[in-house]
């Protein structure tokens, strides 16, 4: 009658479950729980008892079949994710177990310690494989480590994240993601010298990898550390290298301009602006960059001859640009040729 369903099924299932519990019939109790859950799938207490019954019976497959749809409906429930993580680990699905526990720890930091313990168990299982491959752990070990570190950073457990990164970088010293996160932790802790040292290790790795986005991100982060450490000029060479790789990056250009202004290297900044102008497709922007470079040479670098040369390049792009004309006339006047300056200004105003 209970299996057939119908009105009153939930109450009958509960009575049957009570009988099975009192008699110590674990198999019968499990069947009663299944019937109770089928009669009332929204009953959270029955659901959790059924999950526990499956787990005590060692039936992790049934546990997963029960948990999967529940998590699909509530993907951010840390308790459900914790239960499925345990089932997946029992079935040897380390990746799935870690993924579920990572998700649970992001939702509830109280599960971070459980995640660290699981990570250590997974590493211990991978250790015999390293003996077969010359002492190298499988590549997944590094992937798992970074995922765990990201959860630790999310939970603001910087010391634990640092320890995990130290272990990772001991076995994989050129791991880009590990170096980037270690540099960020050291920077956040005010360890400027160590952060800069780490970025210097990371930058050649990022450059060799051909990932422009990574290179730009790392160079900008390094420039920030150099500035905070009181030595912004230390980042200049890498900013220039990155700008060659990503000439469209306004962030790189702005940071490089700031560095050159801070160090007083206005001639170098003018050269960079002129080079950037040459690569630009929009005539108005090319003219603007040339004029800015020329004004730097004129006002800050005290180089009127250089300013005149840049002004001529600006006028070659836009002969009617008043800014370019004024720049040329001012440079020529400073070079001791006032008649030529006046002549061009009169021509421009007629």
Q: Which residues contact 190 (CB under 8 A, 6 or more apart)?
A: none
Return the minimum-mean-pLDDT range out of 2-11, 123-132, 219-228, 240-249. Answer: 2-11
- pLDDT at site 4: 42
Instruction: Give the C-alpha separation, 344 to 130, whole Å.
Output: 77
Write the pLDDT tens digit of every residue in 275-300. Answer: 888 888 899 999 999 999 999 999 88
What is the separation of C-alpha 332 from the centre of its chain, rounded to a whole number of angstroms? 51
- pLDDT at site 3: 43
Residue 14: pLDDT over 70: no
% of the chain exceeding 90 in pLDDT:
56
pLDDT level of residue 341 (50, 70, 90 thresholds): confident
Instruction: Give the C-alpha separation, 349 to 271, whole Å.
Output: 30
| CA angle centred on 33, ends 27 and 37, rounded to 5° | 150
The DSSP annotation for 89-120 comes to HHTT-HHHHHHHHHHHHHH-GGGHHHHHHHHH
pLDDT level of residue 26 (50, 70, 90 thresholds): low
Write the pLDDT tens digit of every residue in 69-110. Answer: 999 999 999 999 999 999 999 999 999 999 999 999 999 999
Instruction: Give the C-alpha separation, 148 to 116, whole Å.
Output: 8
Q: Which residues contact 287 (CB under 8 A, 6 or more apart)?
A: 277, 314, 317, 318, 321, 323, 324
Average pLDDT, the chain: 87
- pLDDT at site 11: 57
């Amino acid at each position: 009658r209970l299996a057939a369903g119908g009105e009153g099924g939930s109450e009958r299932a509960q009575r049957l479950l009570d009988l099975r519990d009192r008699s110590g019939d674990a198999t019968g109790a499990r069947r009663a729980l299944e019937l109770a859950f089928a009669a009332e799938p929204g009953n959270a207490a029955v659901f959790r008892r059924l999950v526990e019954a499956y787990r005590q019976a060692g039936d992790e497959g049934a546990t997963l079949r029960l948990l999967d749809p529940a998590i699909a409906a509530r993907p951010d429930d840390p308790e459900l994710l914790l239960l499925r993580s345990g089932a997946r680990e029992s079935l040897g699905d380390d990746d799935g177990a870690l993924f579920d526990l990572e998700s649970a720890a992001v939702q509830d930091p109280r599960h971070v310690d459980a995640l660290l313990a699981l990570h250590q168990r997974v590493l211990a299982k991978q250790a015999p494989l390293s003996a077969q491959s010359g002492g190298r752990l499988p590549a997944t070990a590094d992937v798992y480590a970074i995922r765990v570190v990201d959860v630790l950073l999310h939970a603001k457990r910087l010391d634990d994240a640092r320890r995990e990164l130290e272990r990772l970088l001991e076995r994989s010293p050129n791991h880009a993601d590990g170096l980037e996160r270690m540099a960020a932790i050291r920077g956040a802790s005010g360890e400027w010298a160590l952060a800069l040292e780490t970025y210097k290790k990371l930058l050649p790795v990022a450059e060799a990898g051909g990932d422009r986005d990574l290179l730009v991100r790392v160079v900008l982060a390094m420039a920030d550390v150099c500035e905070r450490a009181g030595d912004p000029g230390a980042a200049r060479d890498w900013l220039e290298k990155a700008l060659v790789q990503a000439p469209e990056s306004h962030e790189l250009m702005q940071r490089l301009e700031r560095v050159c202004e801070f160090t007083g290297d206005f001639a170098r900044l003018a050269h960079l602006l002129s080079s950037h102008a040459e690569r630009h497709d929009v005539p108005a922007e090319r003219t603007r960059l040339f004029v800015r470079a020329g004004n730097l040479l004129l006002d800050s670098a005290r180089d009127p001859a250089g300013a005149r040369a840049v002004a001529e390049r600006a006028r070659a792009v836009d002969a009617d640009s008043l800014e370019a004309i004024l720049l040329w006339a001012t440079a020529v006047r400073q070079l001791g040729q006032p008649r030529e300056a006046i002549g061009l200004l009169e021509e421009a105003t007629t």
